[in-house]
Amino acid sequence: MPLFRTLLLAALLLLVPAMAQAEDGYALWLRYRPLAPAEQAKYRGLGSGIVAPAGSPTVDATVGELQRGLGAMLGRTPGITLVRSNRIADPEGYAIRSDKRGIRIEARSDVGLLYGAFRLLRMVQTLQPLDHVNIADAPKLKLRLLDHWDNLDRHVERGYSGESIWDWQKLPGWKDPRYTDYARANASVGINGAVLNNVNSNADILRPEWLAKVAAVAEMLRPWGIKVYLSARFSAPIELGKLPTADPLDPSVRAWWKAKGDEIYRTIPDFGGFLVKANSEGQPGPQDYKRSHADGANMLADALAPHGGIVMWRAFVYASDAKEDRAKQAYDEFRPLDGAFRPNVILQVKNGPVDFQPREPFHPLFGAMPKTRLMFEGQITKEYLGFATHIAWLGDLWEEALSADTGRGSTVAGTLSGMAGVSNVGSDRNWSGSHFDQANWYAFGRLAWDPQARAADIAGDWARMTFGNDREVAGTVTAMLAASRQAVVDYMTPLGLHHVMGTGHHYGPALWVGDLARPEWNPAYYHRADARGIGFDRTSTGSNALAQYAPEAARRLAESEDYLLWFHHAPWQRPMRSGRTLWDELVFRYDRGVAAVGTMRRQWAGLAGKVDAERFEQVAAFLSIQEEEARWWRDASIAYWQSLNRLPLPAGAAPPAHPLAWYQALSFPYAPGQAK
C-alpha cells in the first residue's frame, strides 16, 4: 500500500505541469504566462513595488491587474508609480515613462491609469523593452461600445457562443465573477461601454425590477471604466405606461420618457444612454405617427440630456413596402435630416449600406452628414461570415471601411464620434465560440481606440498575447489571419456578390431563393443573375445608388472589380483585368478561396506540439469544418450559375460534387442565432 501511494503521488505530480499548461481560452489575450529566464532578464533593472495614489475601485483594479500580470510573467512586480497628473490633457489618456528608478504611469483620471497599465502589460507580453520607454496615448474616439444582441431569456440573436453572459434570473442577487473578467478584457483594449440588451428590444428591461438587475451589472463594470447602456423600445409608453400612443410629439409621451429617464439615473447614476432601432424590420418608431426619425430621437435625447445621457439612433432602416433599392434607403431617409438632431444624438451607421456582408462598399452616409454626429457600427459576431467555425479576420474588413476616402474631404474614420461593435461574447468557456474569433473582439477594441491603426499590427499583437512569442507560432497565426477574410469573400461572395446566404439563419448558400414575400429577403434580389449576366445595376441605368457617393468616391467604386457585381449587371463573358472572362474569374475566385482554407489547415497542422492540445484540437476541427463548407459554397454556387448561363467550366476546374437539386434540398431549420 505505501508503494501504491508513492506511485500514485508521483503520477499526480507528473500530471501537474501538463494540467497547468492546459488552456481552454478563458484567459483570452490576458494569459500572462511566465516568461523564460532570458526574457525576464530584460526587465530586471526597473526596481520593485507599486506606488499608487489614494485608492478608488479603479485604482484598486489597476494595481491588482499589474500585480496579477507582472507577477505571473516576471515573478515579481517592477517599480511602478501611478500618478494623477493634470499635464495629461485627455481624461482617458496616459503617459508611460521609465528611468533608473522604474516606470511612471501618468494620467488625468483613474481610468487613464488603468489604460496605461494595460498598455504596459501588453508591452511585457510582447517582449517590448521598458528601459527607455516614453509613450503618450489617448483614444481618438470617446464612445467605444459593445452592443449585445442578448434577449432577456438569454437567447442571443446572431450569437454563436452559447447563451447570454447576463444571467438575468439570478441578478441582482448573484453577481457572476465572469462579469469582472468580461470587464477586464474590454478595458484592456479601451472599450468603455456596453449595451446590455438586443436592439430588437423588449420594453420590460425598463421596469424597476429589471433596472435593479442592470444596476448590479453596472456596479461590476464601473471600476473598469465601462458604462452600461440599454436598447429602448420606442413603444414602451404604451406597453409599460399604458398610454394610448407613443407619438414623440405628444406631451404625455414626452413626460413619460422624462420620468423614466429620471428613474434610471436614480438607480444607475452613470447610465450611458439609449440605443434605438426604430421603423426597421417591424420595430415601432416615430414614422408610425407620421413623425421623422429626428422627432423620435430628439424626444428621447431631451429626456436624457439633464443627466448627460446620449441617444444612439440606428440608421439601419428598410421599409416593408419600399419600392427602392434597399441599399439606398438609409441615405434617402437620413440625409435630409442632417442638422435636425439634438447634440446628444448620435446616428449609428453600419459599415456598409446593406448588412454586414463579407465585403461591402462603405456606407454613403459617412461624409454626407457634416452637421450630425456619427457612429460606425460593425458586427463582431460573424452572422454572414461562417458563424463561429470559419476563421475570418475582421480587422481587415474594418480597416478597409475606416480608411475609405469618402470623397468629401475625409476618410470614414475622420467622420466619427464613436464606434459600436455587435458583440460575439457568450457563455461558452472561450467566450466567442472559437479561439480565433477572440481576435475580432480584440481588434474592434483596438480600432475603436484608434481607427487609423493598422490591422496587421493588431493581429501580430493578438497572436503573441494569445498563443505566445514563439516566432513560428506567432508568425503562422498572423499569416492565417491575414489570408482569412479574403478567403471568405472568395468562396462566398466574390466580385461584389452579396446577401446570397441562406434566408433567415444566413447559414450556407441559397442563391436560388426568390419566392419570399418581400423582395429584399430574397438572395436573387441581390445578384439578379440570368442567362445573359449577373449583378445589381446601381449605376444611372439602374437604381443609381452610386449617385449617393461623392463623385470621386463613386468613380473609384464603379471601377473596382471587388465591387463589380455590387454596382453593375455584367455579361458573363465580360473581359476582366486578369484576362479571364467574368465567368472564368468567378470560378477562379471560388477555387482560390477553398485553396486558401486548405493552406490554413496545413499551416495550423505544422504547429502541432507548439500550441496547447485543447486549443490546437478545436482550431484544427473548425478548420476542417471550414474547408468542407467552403467547398459546399463553391460547388453550390457554380452549380446554380451554370443552370442559368449554361457555360462550361474553365479548363482544370472540378465540377460540383452534386447536382444543383441536391444543394437546393438542404434545410437547416435549427441553425443557431436566429431572431426569436
Burial class (CB in 10 A: 0-12, 13-18, 19+), 542: middle
Distance, in Å, from the CA atom of 41 to the CA atom of 186, rounded to the nearest integer, reads: 30
pTM of the model: 0.96
Paired residues of 84 in beta bridges: 107
- So what's the architecture of 143-384+408-435 in CATH? Alpha-Beta Barrel (3.20)
Secondary structure in 3-state letters for 457-519? HHHHHHHHHHHCCCHHHHHHHHHHHHHHHHHHHHHHCHHHCCCCECCCCCCCECCCCCCCCCH
The Cβ of residue 99 has, within 10 Å, a number of other Cβ atoms equal to 13
pLDDT digits over 132-187, tens only? 999 999 999 999 999 999 999 999 999 999 999 999 999 999 999 999 999 999 99
CATH classification code of 491-664: 3.90.1330.10
Side chain identity at residue 104, one-letter code: R
Q: How confident is the model at residue 22 (pLDDT cuts 50, 70, 90)?
A: low
Can you give the residue ranges of every domain in the chain? 23-137, 143-384+408-435, 491-664
Host H or E run for residue 26:
none
Rg (CA), the chain: 26
Active site residues: 281, 355, 383
Report the pLDDT value the prediction gives residue 55, as an integer from 0 to 100: 84
562-585 residues labelled b (16+ CB within 10 A) or e (exposed) = ebbbbbbbbebebebeeebbbbbb
Alpha carbon of 448 to those of 191, 231, 413, 438, 504: distances in Å?
8, 20, 10, 16, 30
Q: Give residue 231's identity as a one-letter amino acid code.
A: S
CB-CB contact of 352 with 562 (8 Å): no
Q: Which amino acid is at 456?
A: A
Side-chain-side CA neighbours of residue 283 (13 Å): 26
- C-alpha distances out from residue 479 to 391, 429, 475, 492, 631, Å: 12, 26, 6, 21, 22
The H or E element spanning position 390 is none
Quick one: cell of 599?
Answer: 493552406
Tell whether the model's pLDDT for residue 541 goes beyond 50: yes
Beta strand 102-107 pairing with 80-84: parallel
Nearest-angstrom CA–CA distance, 294 and 311: 11
Homologous superfamily of 23-137: Chitobiase/beta-hexosaminidase domain 2-like (3.30.379.10)
Q: Are 349 and 315 in contact (CB under 8 A)?
A: yes
Three-class SS state of 148:
coil
Cβ neighbors of 333 (< 8 A, separation 6 or more) are 293, 315, 317
Q: What is the mean pLDDT of residues 320-337?
A: 90
The per-residue pLDDT for range 423-463, each reduced to its tens digit, is 999 999 999 999 999 999 999 999 999 999 999 999 999 99
Record the cell numbers describing residue 596, joined without a space: 486558401
Q: Mutual orientation of helices 471-492 and 582-605 as an angle, nearest 10°? A: 150
The Cα 121–Cα 143 span in angstroms is 23
Mean pLDDT of the chain: 95
d(CA 300, CA 288): 16
- The secondary structure of residue 411, as a DSSP letter, is B
What are 450-453's contacts with CB under 8 Å, separation 24+? 450/139, 450/140, 451/140, 451/141, 451/376, 451/402, 451/413, 451/416, 451/419, 452/140, 452/402, 452/403, 452/413, 453/399
Query: What integer pLDDT is reported at residue 318 of this predicted model?
Result: 82
At position 448, the amino acid (one-letter code) is: A
d(CA 104, CA 122): 16
Q: What is the mean pLDDT of residues 337-350?
A: 98
At residue 100 the predicted structure's pLDDT band, cuts being 50, 70 and 90, is confident
Torsion of CA 601, 606, 610, 616, to 10 degrees: 20
Within 10 angstroms of residue 245's Cβ, the number of other Cβ atoms is 14
User: Which band of pLDDT confidence, cut at 50, 70 and 90, is reported for residue 354?
Assistant: very high
pLDDT band at 249 (very low <50, low <70, confident <90, very high): very high
Q: In whole angstroms, what is the distance from residue 346 CA to residue 270 CA?
A: 18
Beta carbons of 452 and 188 less than 8 angstroms apart: no
Residue 322's pLDDT band (boundaries 50, 70, 90)? low
Measure CA 467 to chain center.
21
What would the pLDDT profile of 362-406 be if each residue is shown by its tens digit?
A: 999 999 999 999 999 999 999 999 999 999 999 999 999 999 999
Backbone angles phi, psi at 311, to 5 degrees: -120, 120
Whether the Cβ atoms of residue 180 and residue 57 lie closer than 8 Å to each other: no
Contact predicate 439/485, CB 8 Å? no
Q: Are 632 and 594 in contact (CB under 8 A)?
A: no
